[in-house]
Amino acid sequence: MMKKQQLVETVGADRRALFTPAAIANRWSWHEESVRRALRERRLASIVIGRRRLVPVEEIERVEREGFIARAA
């Protein structure tokens, strides 16, 4: 039986919250592929751990407060 993927993870000694694309899609009522597109276009800052791309909670809060960063050229 496969374990359900966590939507929000904590990493490191400070237990920093990191969001998966699925968690962001759920939080913003977006399609998960739209979140992945924003990540590919570098409109949403993220970190890579292994093969997983995760978004720090600070970036989620920044986007909710200020909007997206400009598209990378």
Around 52, how many Cα atoms within 13 Å sit in the side-chain half-sphere?
A: 15
Sheet of 8-11, strands arranged across: 8-11, 16-19, 52-56, 47-49
All residue ranges of the chain with pLDDT < 70 are 1-15, 69-73
Q: How far apart, in whole angstroms, are the C-alpha atoms of residue 17 and residue 56?
A: 6
Mean per-residue pLDDT of the chain: 82
pTM of the model: 0.73
- pLDDT number for residue 1: 43
Measured CA angle at 33 (ends 57, 39), to 5 deg: 45
| Other beta carbons within 10 Å of 44 | 22
Task: Please name the fold of domain 8-66.
Answer: Arc Repressor Mutant, subunit A (1.10.10)
The ranges assigned to domains in the chain are: 8-66
